[in-house]
């Protein structure tokens, strides 16, 4: 009766004739299926065992029905996922240096004397998804005498970060004593700004291809970073101009970051003085632009401390909070400098103990739970709302023990001196290591969904080097000549294109889709799909189709660099077009199998009870 009732329902209500006929035939053949299975078993199982083991048939039928049901569920779920389009393609982050992996932190490897601690610090950071290392390189330690350089410590630090595939933002300051006559304030700028220019030139040349971002000085709007004198926006811009010009002469592809400004409402040099001991950061930035700073940096550095407020606290010129950086952005736009990114130099909240006095709490105080929550929420807010924001360097990852627990700045740390991770580390790791899958949209070659490696054996990625050119998308591409260098992208959609560069010096790269040759690309003698980028003339922003109208879902594209020539990546494009047809044939077949097996199971069970 059960089989007959279901048969009647499907015969009457099936939406498509072929599917209806399939289901009806399945019910009619339930008994035949059971008999067929018994015949097959009789051919392979001794007759006595077959009669003694009637449950074997029902077990097989149950397994067949279960398998068909699971296959049916997977097929329908896959179609639902493939047929569900995003509300709209993700808009491209068109401002240079914004479509980047945003996860960074400040490090103090220069203060660490043991190699294993340096290594463990970098390894823990990389395991948490942190790929940017903001690190100070003290001029006074490297050039103790004019023209005599000791690079030993700096070389060790650079090599440690390179080992784990981390990109360095080098802070260049702390002048040596020989560079100024007044030695009362060691942070003071040199008497001859060209001495600093010489140091910048030497540093950039030594680390070409290894350090691609440098920061010029630190917080020149407050005492004592500008020495024992009032702060001076024009004086800092003069230093910035020399450093920028020398850095670009040494390596045109290096990115120059301005000094971050300490967030402050200001303090006069003396009562009723027109000069400043601590100058309001917004006023200082405005004054920098007035004297021509716009032409002497590629990326604006800014500090974004939350202090007492949550990341939702709106910007206000009279308040110090996380969103104050949006006011700095308004100044950039006021001076038509809106095609540059802002990178956050120091970012975070302080989780000092509740019994600290107000005088101790220089950076405000939140709970450790709030510290972790606010750090994640601030990043999420910035990525969703600030199209001009790039890297966020959390202050700080780990210190070496020179900051004691009696000091409030001890409680910014992500990891304790003994390498115990704090809650903020754990929460950021959850966020930063979540698998990145590019949704439909246009992406730059620096996007966090694109994983660049030197080879399959490690995390190092310095084989891929930035190359700045106005013909490239957003003015930049990444280039390599290293055979075996990898570029991997996971995407969701049905079509994928690399944006690449063709020219006389370009070579060949092999490309796979989900581990198989990419359809539409030529095959070499071994059956591997490849793209040949050589051309008699330069061709920029060329789209190379890798996937076209494949099954909509999550796919993996891998590019491997060939033996000769350059390979330049300028971005990639993911699309999801049209409707996905419902898999009627697969659903019908699996449905029929499920119904037939289920019906046969019921018939066999009923028959065994009748025999008893």
pLDDT in tens, 94-135: 899 999 999 999 999 999 999 999 999 999 999 999 999 999
Question: For the segment 325-376, what is each residue's pLDDT rounded down to a tens digit?
Answer: 999 999 999 999 999 999 999 999 999 999 999 999 999 999 999 999 999 9
Radius of gyration of the chain (CA): 32
Residues 545 and 570 reside in one and the same domain: yes
Give the C-alpha separation, 534 to 538, whole Å.
9
Q: What are phi and psi of 569, to 5 degrees?
A: -105, 135
Confirm if 583 and 36 have CB atoms less than 8 A apart. no
pLDDT in the model for residue 75: 62
- Do 455 and 535 belong to one domain? yes
Distance CA 549, CA 552 (A): 8
Encoding tokens for residue 524?
């070499």
Contact in structure between 556 and 503 (CB atoms under 8 Å): no
Residue 340 lies inside a defined structural domain of this protein: yes
Tokens 């409030």, residue?
A: 408
Distance from C-alpha of 144 to C-alpha of 30, rounded to nearest angstrom: 91
Q: How many CA atoms lie within 13 A of 382 on its CB side?
A: 30
In angstroms, the CA 194 to CA 198 distance is: 6
Q: C-alpha angle 170/172/178, rounded to 5°?
A: 150
Residue 312, in any domain of the structure: yes
Length of the chain: 612
Cα of 441 vs its chain's centroid, Å: 16
Q: How far is CA 79 from CA 216, 289, 581, in A?
A: 53, 55, 8
Could you give the 3-state DSSP secondary structure of residue 129? coil
CB 504 within 8 A of CB 536: yes
- In a domain, residue 61? The reply is yes
**Domain with 182 in it:** 103-432
**Is 93 inside a domain boundary?**
no
Alpha-carbon separation of residue 162 from 23, 141, 210 (angstroms): 62, 21, 8
Closest CA to 247 of 192, 187, 206: 206
Clarify whether residues 293 and 177 are in a common domain: yes
Per-residue pLDDT at 53: 58
Q: Are strands 167-173 and 389-394 parallel, antiparallel or unpaired?
A: unpaired
What pTM was estimated for this model as a whole?
Answer: 0.83
**Domain-embedded: residue 241:** yes
- What pLDDT, on a 0 to 100 scale, did the predictor assign at position 133? 98
Kindly state the tokens that stand for 283.
């006023």
List the structure tokens of 105: 């932190």
**Is 45 in the same domain as 144?**
no
Q: How many domains does the chain have?
A: 3
Residue 136 DSSP SS3: strand
Separation between Cα atoms, residue 408 and residue 360, nearest integer Å:
6
Q: What would the two tokens of residue 141 be? A: 């330690």
**Burial group, residue 141, by CB count within 10 angstroms (0-12, 13-18, 19+):** middle
The answer to the question of residue 359 being in a domain is yes
The pLDDT tens digits of the residues spanning 165-201 come to 999 999 999 999 999 998 899 999 999 999 999 999 9
247 belongs to a structural domain: yes
- Looking at residue 534, its pLDDT comes to 97
CB 424 within 8 A of CB 131: no
Question: Do 192 and 68 belong together in one domain?
Answer: no
Please indicate, yes or no, whether residues 58 and 205 belong to a single structural domain of this protein: no
| Cβ pair 412, 345 in contact under 8 A | no
CB neighbours (10 Å) of residue 359?
7
List the chain residues with pLDDT less than 50: 1-20, 22-27, 30, 40-41, 44-45, 49-50, 52
Element (H, E) at 243: helix 233-250
Extract the tokens encoding 423.
Answer: 């809650």
> What's the gap between Cα 34 and its chain centre?
56
432, 453, 481 - which closes a domain: 432
Residues 63 and 112 in one domain: no
pLDDT of residue 38: 55
Same domain? 53 vs 149:
no
How confident is the model at residue 589, as a pLDDT? 77
Three-class secondary structure of residue 394 per DSSP: strand
Sequence-distant (6+) residues with CB within 8 A of 1 are none
Same structural domain, 321 and 422: yes
Classify residue 94: in a domain, yes or no: no
Residue that has been written with the tokens 């390979």 in this structure? 567
Backbone torsion region of residue 562, taken as left when φ is above 0, otherwise alpha when ψ lies between -120 and 50, otherwise beta: beta
Q: Are residues 415 and 480 in the same domain?
A: no
Q: CB burial class (10 A; 0-12, 13-18, 19+) of residue 91?
A: exposed
Residues 451 and 590 reside in one and the same domain: no
Q: 151: how many CB neighbours lie within 10 A of its CB?
A: 16
Domain end residue (candidates: 432, 461, 493): 432
Structure tokens at 401: 């023990």
Q: What angle do CA 583, 588, 594 make, to 5 degrees?
A: 130
List Cα–Cα distances, 466 to 105, 130, 209, 565, 611, in angstroms.
21, 20, 8, 16, 80
What stretch of H or E contains 391? strand 389-394
590 shares its domain with 571: no
Boundary residue ending a domain (389, 406, 432): 432
- Amino acid 109: pLDDT: 98
Residue 441: predicted pLDDT: 93
Please return the burial class of 559, using the count of CB atoms within 10 Å of its CB with bins 0-12, 13-18 and 19+: buried
> What pLDDT is attached to residue 579?
61
Give the three-class secondary structure for 406: coil
Report yes or no: 221 and 261 within 8 Å, Cβ to Cβ.
Answer: yes
């Amino acid at each position: 009766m059960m089989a007959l009732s279901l048969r009647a329902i499907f015969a009457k209500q099936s939406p498509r004739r072929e599917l209806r006929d399939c289901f009806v035939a399945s019910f009619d053949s339930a008994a035949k299926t059971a008999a067929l299975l018994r015949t097959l078993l009789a051919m392979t199982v001794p007759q006595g065992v077959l009669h003694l083991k009637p449950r074997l048939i029902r077990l097989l039928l149950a397994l067949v029905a279960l398998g068909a049901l699971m296959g049916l569920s997977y097929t329908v779920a896959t179609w639902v996922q493939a047929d569900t389009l995003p509300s709209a393609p993700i808009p491209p982050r068109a401002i240079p240096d914004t479509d980047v992996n945003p996860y960074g932190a400040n490090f103090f490897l220069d203060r660490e004397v043991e190699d294993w601690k340096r290594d463990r610090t970098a390894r823990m950071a990389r395991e948490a998804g942190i790929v940017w290392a903001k690190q100070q390189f003290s001029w006074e330690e490297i050039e103790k005498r004019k023209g005599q350089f000791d690079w030993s410590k700096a070389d060790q630090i650079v090599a440690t970060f390179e080992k784990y595939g981390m990109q360095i933002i080098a802070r260049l300051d702390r002048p040596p004593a020989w560079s100024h006559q007044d030695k009362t304030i060691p942070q003071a700028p040199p008497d001859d700004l060209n001495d600093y220019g010489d140091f910048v030139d030497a540093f950039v040349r030594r680390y070409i291809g290894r350090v691609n971002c440098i920061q010029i000085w630190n917080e020149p709007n407050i005492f004592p970073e500008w020495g024992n004198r009032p702060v001076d926006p024009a004086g800092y811009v003069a230093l910035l101009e020399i450093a920028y010009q020398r850095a670009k002469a040494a390596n045109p592809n290096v990115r120059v970051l301005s000094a971050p400004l300490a967030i402050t409402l200001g303090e006069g040099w003396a009562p009723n003085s027109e000069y400043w001991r601590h100058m309001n950061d917004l006023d200082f930035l405005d004054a920098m632009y007035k004297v021509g700073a716009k032409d002497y940096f590629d990326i604006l550095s800014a500090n974004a401390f939350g202090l007492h407020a949550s990341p939702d606290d709106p910007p206000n010129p009279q308040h110090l909070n996380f969103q104050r950086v949006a006011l700095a952005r308004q100044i950039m736009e006021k001076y038509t400098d809106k095609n540059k990114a802002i990178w956050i130099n120091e970012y975070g909240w302080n989780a000092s103990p509740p019994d600290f006095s107000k005088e101790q709490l220089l950076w405000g105080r939140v709970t450790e739970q709030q510290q972790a929550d606010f750090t994640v929420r601030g990043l999420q807010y910035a990525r969703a709302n600030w199209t001009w924001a790039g890297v966020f360097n959390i202050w700080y990852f780990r210190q070496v023990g020179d900051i004691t627990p009696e000091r409030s700045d001890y409680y910014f740390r992500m990891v304790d001196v003994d390498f115990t991770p704090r809650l903020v580390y754990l929460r950021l790791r959850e966020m930063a290591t979540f698998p990145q899958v590019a949704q439909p949209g246009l992406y730059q070659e620096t996007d966090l969904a694109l994983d660049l490696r030197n080879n399959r054996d490690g995390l190092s990625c310095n084989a891929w080097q930035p190359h700045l050119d106005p013909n490239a998308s957003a003015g930049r591409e990444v280039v390599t000549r290293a055979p075996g260098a990898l570029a991997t992208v996971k995407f969701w959609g049905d079509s994928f294109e690399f944006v690449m560069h063709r020219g006389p010096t370009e070579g060949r790269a092999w490309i796979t889709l989900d581990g198989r040759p990419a359809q539409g690309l030529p095959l070499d003698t071994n059956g591997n799909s490849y793209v040949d980028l050589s051309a008699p003339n330069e061709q920029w922003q060329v789209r190379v189709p890798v996937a076209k109208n494949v099954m909509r879902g999550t796919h993996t594209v891998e590019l491997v660099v060939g033996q000769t020539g350059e390979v330049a990546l300028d971005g990639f494009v993911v699309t999801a077009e049209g409707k996905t047809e419902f898999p009627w044939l697969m659903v019908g077949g699996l449905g029929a199998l499920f119904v037939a097996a289920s019906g046969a199971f019921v018939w066999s069970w009923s028959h065994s009870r009748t025999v008893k």
